[in-house]
Each structure stands twice: as structure tokens, then as C-alpha cells.
Chain A
Amino acid sequence: MRIRSLEDLIAAKNRGLATLYPHKAKIMVGMASCGIASGSRAVMKALQDEVRRIGFDASISPIGCIGSCYKEPLVDVIRPGQPRLTYANVTPAAAVDIAESLASGRLRKEGLFTRIEEDENLVDGTRVRISSGKAAVSTGEGSASSGQGTAGNPSRRDTGASDSSGQRMASEPSDGSRGTGAGRSSEARTPAEFADIPLFGEVPFFKQQKRIVLRNCGVINPDSIDEYIARGGYFALHKALKELSPEKVIEEVKASGLRGRGGAGFPTGVKWQLTRNATGDVKYIICNADEGDPGAYMDRSVLEGDPHSVLEGMTIGAFAVGAQEGYIYVRAEYPLAIEKLQLAIRQAEECGLLGEDVLGSGFNFRVSLSKGAGAFVCGEETALMAAIEGRVGEPRPRPPFPAQSGLWGKPTNINNVETWANVPVILARGGNWYAQIGTEKSKGTKVFSLVGKLNNSGLIEVPMGISLRDIVYSIGGGITDGGKFKAVQTGGPSGGFIPESLIDLPVDYERLTEAGAIMGSGGMVVMDDKVCMVDMARFFLTFTAAESCGKCAPCRIGTYVMNETLARICEGQGREGDIEFLEKLAHTVKALSLCGLGQTAPNPVLTTIRYFRHEYETHIRDKRCPAKVCKRKFTPEEIARLKEEAAQKREALKGSEAPGSGEQPSPLKSAGKKQSGAQTRTDKKDARKRKD
């Protein structure tokens, strides 16, 4: 059904509310990649089978990732009139039990993780008690009222029956089921037995988060455009198209202080302005969804859990810069994200929210998907555009910048997934509202994929300026197995390592850059003291050396030589001067490389040398790895010498008739340090291999 007016949008919203919070029991399963990887497909099937078997009338819905990936598979249940309860680490057997207990009315308590009583509709700034049926409590803080405000106007044709606010979580179905069951209570009442289950906002993992980009992830069914609209979706687009001029839209984005979330942090509003000012009839909008940093999956989760937020952001952006065509460049390794995007595009087109005559405004905007073929460098904007054009994905020098001459030589505005997902909220709530969040120069929130040696790993969204300590200890729950925090790596292969001494560093663009790392797209890998920093630097350099396109010499030869040098140090074959050589080389590669890949690739080397120089020195001088990670490799000469020394010792032993084994500790290992048997065996095996 085409949506052409606010009334149509409100009708869709009510349809969405009816499935989002139905008047019967609802079961939700986290079915993003993280959930599926943990086994949520089996859980889903078990639930469906069980519900069918016992003939229980409940709706079962897949949802995206709510962020607490360490608790997947997650199953949520809502009974009419009661808060949403979340079960963690659900097995298929537990799922059967949950379904049964839900049907019997005596809910299973085991495995409960959190409960959600209040739901914030971020787009219009209202909070609603789940299933309350009462009018919403508006937060009223600078809420840009437009479409949302008028939604409550009783003169409008609000199909959601009597509720004057239009914000009710459960719309009344017309089939007369109203009044049955527990849904009659005017307040969401947590039964006493569940009162000790922590509220969503009290769970340490969620407590300090502020979910703007992830507003719908883990809440709505990503396959339902109505549920997206029910949470305020496409109202910002309506506002932009029907009430604002393109200039006004850009003004709002500028006022918000939003900066590019792809890593470099260029002000989004300024970028839009440049594209708008560029001369040309044909302009393009691109969404960069070529997320490739090791350990980063922010964009994937947004696309899998809330694809429409990106589409809406892009459409608003297209209206602002004057583009009629857009591309989403998404990596082919994200099949689920591609599937969700394709469905979302089709739905939006069918509803008239994308394509010809968007919302009946006369504005046209088509979006196509372009699938990457696996090259990391295609996340660089000029390489990405070359890839969309069907050319080899290699960066080209700038200027001209994409805003002047981008895709097929036309002015092009390119932003990443997270940036686009921010746009609808900024438009709905106003730039000033957004600018209240964050620090002076870094506004809003940032999504991080918090991974590594942490008790709670997952996808988090935090206000800019939060300290690393809060992220690691409060949200992340500290290091696993009571280990000691050593470093956090931000920004993936382009980023750097931040040591424990800087753990109180506020996270924003400037401070991270000062520390030698970068904000990057949002990968955050936490390491404990079992990690060797030289080995980590080598890991990232192996990645960049393999992903360098090879076009420019500093990156092609420089990353290769740095990687080989690091490998040599790890293998105990480091030489005096290696550290200085690495530093010099890193600075040159940074200074001379053609694109962002080469310009940032040395960051892991530079930051590990800056903060963990002693580890390099131990590798080079003492020929050992302090963290016992790197394996020593011997040269043929060393093996010969070792053999000779061993033979001499055997002779000496024979002479003294000393009892004991033939096991000879390697004289190259540091004296006094007893090495594990396993390591000795590995060394011996290595030595044997070399001999062969």
C-alpha cells in the first residue's frame, strides 16, 4: 500500500504497533548473525514446533541484535499487561520450556536476564510503559514536533482507536479481543516473582549506553516496515520532504555536529553542503557498508536489525543534496544484511517511501545494492566508487573529491551506515537536541563492537566522551577469568593500541587521534596480559599488507617490509636497529601513501612501539616473548650451534655420570626462566623441521 500522506503513515504505524505489541503473548528471538551463530535458528524452530504442538496462540517474531551478543541466543517474551522479559543463552530445550511456561501462565524464571518496562520512542522523544495503554509521557526536550506531533491530533484519522496520543504500544485490534487476558491492567505491572530481575537500564551492560543508531535493533522485526514506522520511522522523511527545504535539512545536520562515522570524522553537514553546491544535474548518494575491520560488526548489525533506518537516512540525504539515485555498497560476506536490505528496499518502494514520487512529494530516489567482492580497500571511498562503476577497486588521488567528481564523474555524497542511521533522528529531534550529546567537538553517540577478552562482549552505543574505563569495566564487565587489562585496540587495522595508562581517556575523535589510535568505524578489541603486542602489531600488518591494493609504492612495499620485519622480531631474529627502522618506515608510509589504507596502516606498529617498546626490546635482545605467544624460530646456523652445544653437554654428563635426562634447556631462552614442556617440544619440532 502506498503511503502518500501523514494519515497513511499513521495507519502504517498502527499496523506496526499491532504486531510490535500484540494483544496476545509474543515471543521474540534474536536472529541477527550473532544470534544465528549462537544457535538461534534451532531455538526458533523449537519454539515454533512447541507452540504449534500445544496449540498456543502466540506470535513469534525474529528481531535484530540488541547488543548483548555474549548472551545470545536471546529469547524475549511479552505477555499482555506485563513487561518484556529477556532470557539469555537459550537452548532449544529451554526454548520449549519457555513456550510451555508462557502458555501455562507460570513463566519460567530460569535464565532470565533483564526486563524492559519502558520503551523510549527516540524519534518523537516519548516514553511509553510497555502495554500500558496510557497516554505517553513526553520528555518534551526540544522535540521537533512535526509529523509526530500531529500524529496525536484527534482531528486526524488515527485508526488506533481511542488513544489520543497515538503513542500507545498496543493498538486495539478490531476483532473484539480487547478485554481478554491480562492486558486490562492500566500499568505494566511486574509480577512480584520477577521483581528481582534487573531492569534493562540497570543491567551494567546497558546502563551507560545511549541507543540512537541502535534504537530499533533488537526491538523490531527487521522484515516489517510497519514496525519500523511504528517506532517513528519515516516520519523524519515526511518532515523533510513536506515541511523543510533541502537547505534547512543541511542546516539541521550541521547544527547536530554529526561527523562521519566511517572513521575520518568529516562533518556530515559540510559534506552534504559541498555536494549540494557542486554543479551538475545528476548527483549520487552512496552508503558505504563495506565493513571490513577485523573484529568490527557495527554496520552489519544495523543493516540486519534495522535496515530501514539507513534507507530513510539516505533518502533524506538525497533530498538535501539533490540526488535521485543511490547505491549501497555492501560486502558480499554479509549475506543476511544483503537479504534484509533487499527486502527493505522492495518494501519501501512498494510503500512509496523510495523510488518514484516519494511520499507523494514528487521527489524521486532509487536505491540499488552493489555487492563487494572481498577487497578491504574498497571501503576507501574512491576505490569503492571505482568498484561500483565496474572498474578495479583501487583508490585514486584526491582532488577531485567525490563531492565534486565522484561516481561516474558526478558529484557524489558518500557516508557510512552508522552516519546514515543517525540522520532520521537528527531530523526528527532537531540538530540542537543531538548536539547536546557528546563532547565539544564530537557530538552524539558512537557504536562500538566491544570484543576481546571481556566478560560482556557485544555491540554497544555510547555517548562520545565516555571513558575507556567505563567501556571496559562497567559495560564490558572487566577482563575474563580475572585477567589483567593490557590494551584496547580501536579502529581496526587503521587504528592503534591504547595502553592501561590511558584508560581514563575520553573516547572522541580528537583524543583518540592524540593517543595515536583513531576512532575508526568502531571496532574495539580489548586485550589482557596474555597478549603479545608485537604479535598483535604483526597480526594487523599481515592484514594490511595482504589487503594493500599495490597501486602506490609506500603502501605496497612499506607494509610488506614492516610485516616481514615484525615477523622476524617475533621469531626471535630481531636485530638492533629494527625498532628505529620500523618507526622511520611507519612515518614514511603514513606520510606518502595514496589513500587512507596506507596512511593509517602503520598505526598499530607506531602505537605498540610507543606504549610497549620494552616488549620489542625483549624480543630483540633477549630473544624471547614476554607473553609467551611468539614462537622462536632458529636459523640453520643456530641449529648447528645448538646441536654442538648439546653434544658437548652430553659428553660432560657422561663424564660425570650424572643421572638425568637428555633434555637440554635451550641456551637461547632467558636464564632462570623455566619454560613449559610444550614449548620445548615445539622448539625441538621447529629445529627438526629446519634440519629436514
Chain B
Amino acid sequence: MQGNVKIRIDGRDLVAEKGLTILEVSRQAGIEIPTLCFDEALEPYAACRLCVVELSVKGAKRFVAACVYPVEEGAEVNTCTDEILLHRRLLVELYLARSPKARKIKELAAKLSVGEPRYRFEETHNCIVCGLCVRACNEIVGASAIGFSQRGMKRKVEPPFRRGSAACISCGTCTTICPTEAITLKEIDQVKSVHVAGEEGSAVPCSVCAEFEVVPTHPDDYMGWLSERVSGKRVK
């Protein structure tokens, strides 16, 4: 992509490189747009819908996800109109209802002054299904050890068929990238998502799928083990 386009974001006239997204241009200009499923290292996914902004081209207004929508010549973008804020607050309220214990969601709710959710879930979960772990495992690690299963409200992150995945290299990227501590190292051991086939030594057999073995149970131990695998020497 070559050339520049003129675009107005929140009243500021900007010249942006063609092909960049609204989110990239906004952030470069210091305009904050909240996101949950966006990570610079990954392909945009447009699933959290927090970054939805108002785009007007030739008078026609519509809502677009800033993380995927490329800047357009002559377009006018408003990132926080009253209407956008209204929708964004209600969306965060939904997130908060589903994941009331997730620190990141609580912070977001406080920032947008979202109060107690009007709907109460019987079952809550920290996972906000942003897909960062799945995409990191696929795009960065290249292991594709975890994916989504089910659909709708039942959608969740799992290794295929809920069995320990032999594709997993126990790198822990999923735990690092997870914004809501839904996947933690400790939980990896319990939920049997990180397994290494044929690993000898201190590995503990998984309680569910005994043909695979789990890496050391304690996170500290795990970091050492991982560094050994990656660099050949154990880092404390």
C-alpha cells in the first residue's frame, strides 16, 4: 500500500498511511480507543467490539470496528460520541455480568463508570472469549494446540476434544497473553491443556488423559523447565 489519505478523527485532521487501520492511526495520534481482543502482534479479530467507532463517509454514518477498518480518504471518524459511549457502556456491562472477577473488565467498567450489571449470570467465568490465546498459539507459536469449541454462550477455549494436545509445546504464551487471567499456569496443569507427549523426568501424568504427561506443577518450576527447553540452561 502506498500513499497517504486525509482523515479526520475526533475533529483532528490527520494524514495517515494508506492501508493502516483506524485504530493504528488513532493510537499513533494519541487517541485512545479501548480494545480487548486486539494485540499488535496478531491479526486483528474484531470480536470484542469495544473499538467500534462511528465512520462517516459522504454523510453516510455507520459503525465499524476500528481494529480492522482501513482509513479512507475524506472519512470522518468519531471514537466516542454519546451514542458510541452508550453502546460501549452496555457492552462492558455485559462483559462484567459474565466475568465479574476479571480484573481487566473491572478496570474497564470503572473507567467507563459502569455500575452493577442489570443482569446476573448464574455461572460466571473469567474467559471473555477474546481469542488472544487461540490466535497467539496459532499465529505466533505455530502450535495450534488450543481452539474454540461449542458456540454461543457455551463457546470456550479448549484443546481439541478436551484431550491434552500433543501439539502443545508448553510455552505458556496463552497464559501470558490472556487479559483476564482466565488461563493461568496453575490452571494449565489442572485443566490439562498444556501437555508434552513423551516428556521424561519430573513430569506428572495428567489425571484425565494419562497417555500424556504434564510439565512440572509449580509455575516457578515451570519457568525453569521452559527456559531449559528453549535455551538449554535453567534460568532461575
B151 interface hit (Cβ, 8 Å)? yes
A553 interface hit (Cβ, 8 Å)? yes
Asked if A550 contacts B152 (CB within 8 A), the reply is: yes
A585 to B118, alpha carbons, bound, how many Å?
Answer: 11
B206 interface hit (Cβ, 8 Å)? no
Chain B binding surface SS class: mixed
Asked if B152 contacts A548 (CB within 8 A), the reply is: yes
* CB proximity of A579 to chain B, nearest CB, Å: 13
Asked if A593 contacts B49 (CB within 8 A), the reply is: yes
Asked if A587 contacts B129 (CB within 8 A), the reply is: no
Return the contact of A592 from the options B68, B91, B147, B153 (Cβ within 8 A): B91
Asked if A594 contacts B47 (CB within 8 A), the reply is: yes
Asked if B91 contacts A560 (CB within 8 A), the reply is: no
B48 interface hit (Cβ, 8 Å)? yes
Asked if A556 contacts B153 (CB within 8 A), the reply is: yes
Asked if B49 contacts A592 (CB within 8 A), the reply is: yes
Q: Which residues of A contact B52 (CB under 8 A)?
A: 591-592
Return the contact of B49 from the options A552, A559, A565 (Cβ within 8 A): A552
* CB proximity of B165 to chain A, nearest CB, Å: 17
A546 interface hit (Cβ, 8 Å)? yes
A545 interface hit (Cβ, 8 Å)? yes
Q: Which residues of A contact B118 (CB under 8 A)?
A: 577, 581
Say which size band chain A's interface belongs to.
20 to 34
B95 interface hit (Cβ, 8 Å)? yes
> Interface digits, A593-609 against B, CB 8 Å rule (1 contact, 0 not)?
11000000000000000
* CB proximity of A103 to chain B, nearest CB, Å: 57
B110 interface hit (Cβ, 8 Å)? no
A185 to B157, alpha carbons, bound, how many Å?
Answer: 74
Q: Which residues of B contact A588 (CB under 8 A)?
A: 86-87, 90-91
* CB proximity of A563 to chain B, nearest CB, Å: 10
Asked if A585 contacts B90 (CB within 8 A), the reply is: yes
Asked if A550 contacts B49 (CB within 8 A), the reply is: no
Q: Which residues of A contact B47 (CB under 8 A)?
A: 551-553, 594
A577 to B118, alpha carbons, bound, how many Å?
Answer: 10
Considering the complex, which residues of chain B in the window 5-42 have a beta carbon less than 8 Å from any beta carbon of chain A? Answer: none
Given that A392-B148, A560-B153 are contacting pairs, would A553 and B95 also be in contact in the complex, using a CB cutoff of 8 Å? yes
Query: What are 20 contact pairs spanning A and B, CB under 8 A?
Result: A399-B68, A547-B152, A548-B151, A548-B153, A550-B152, A553-B49, A553-B91, A553-B94, A556-B129, A556-B155, A557-B153, A561-B97, A565-B119, A581-B118, A588-B91, A591-B87, A592-B52, A592-B63, A592-B87, A594-B49
Given that A399-B69, A554-B91, A584-B90 are contacting pairs, would A545 and B49 also be in contact in the complex, using a CB cutoff of 8 Å? no
Asked if B49 contacts A561 (CB within 8 A), the reply is: no
Least CB separation from A554: chain B residue: B49
A397 interface hit (Cβ, 8 Å)? yes
* CB proximity of B48 to chain A, nearest CB, Å: 6
A557 to B94, alpha carbons, bound, how many Å?
Answer: 6
Considering the complex, which residues of chain B in the window 30-74 have a beta carbon less than 8 Å from any beta carbon of chain A? Answer: 44, 46-49, 52, 63, 65, 68-70
Q: Which residues of B contact A547 (CB under 8 A)?
A: 151-152
Q: Which residues of B contact A532 (CB under 8 A)?
A: none
B128 interface hit (Cβ, 8 Å)? yes
> Interface digits, B66-103 against A, CB 8 Å rule (1 contact, 0 not)?
00111000000000000100110011001101100000
